[in-house]
């Protein structure tokens, strides 16, 4: 298995990750990401399968329709009670960042 990456930001993010989720079936067969809860494997010490799924659901962008991604619905589909995703969550003001790409040119 390999990972394709575009840009250095993605590589920097990968270097800081403790875990990563791969969907190897749903996207190819039905053009929609999906997960089988029985096949979710956790490789982090001290975190069980249910806790890992809950953390993934909390990290999803599904709470904001504007930025929702297809994988978010697949992750939330693993949760039996969606209310537990919101328990003990405090919303902090939303911030946006904009990036401007520029090319520096020297004068000769």
User: 64 Cβ partners below 8 Å, 6+ apart?
Assistant: none
User: 12 Cβ partners below 8 Å, 6+ apart?
Assistant: none
pLDDT of res. 24: 55
pLDDT of res. 84: 82
pLDDT of res. 94: 60
pLDDT tens sequence across 55-82: 888 887 665 565 567 778 888 888 888 8
pLDDT tens sequence across 4-54: 656 667 777 777 877 766 655 555 556 667 778 888 888 888 889 988 888
The structure's pTM equals 0.52
């Amino acid at each position: 298995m390999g990972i394709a990456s575009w840009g250095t930001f993605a590589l920097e993010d990968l270097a800081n990750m403790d875990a990563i989720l791969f969907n190897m079936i749903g996207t190819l067969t039905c053009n929609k990401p999906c997960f089988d809860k029985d096949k979710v494997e956790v490789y982090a010490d001290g975190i069980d399968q249910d806790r890992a799924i809950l953390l993934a659901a909390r990290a999803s962008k599904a709470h904001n329709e504007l930025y929702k991604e297809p994988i978010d619905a697949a992750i939330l589909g693993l949760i039996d009670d969606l209310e537990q995703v919101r328990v003990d969550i405090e919303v902090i003001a939303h911030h946006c960042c904009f990036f401007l790409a520029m090319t520096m040119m020297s004068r000769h």
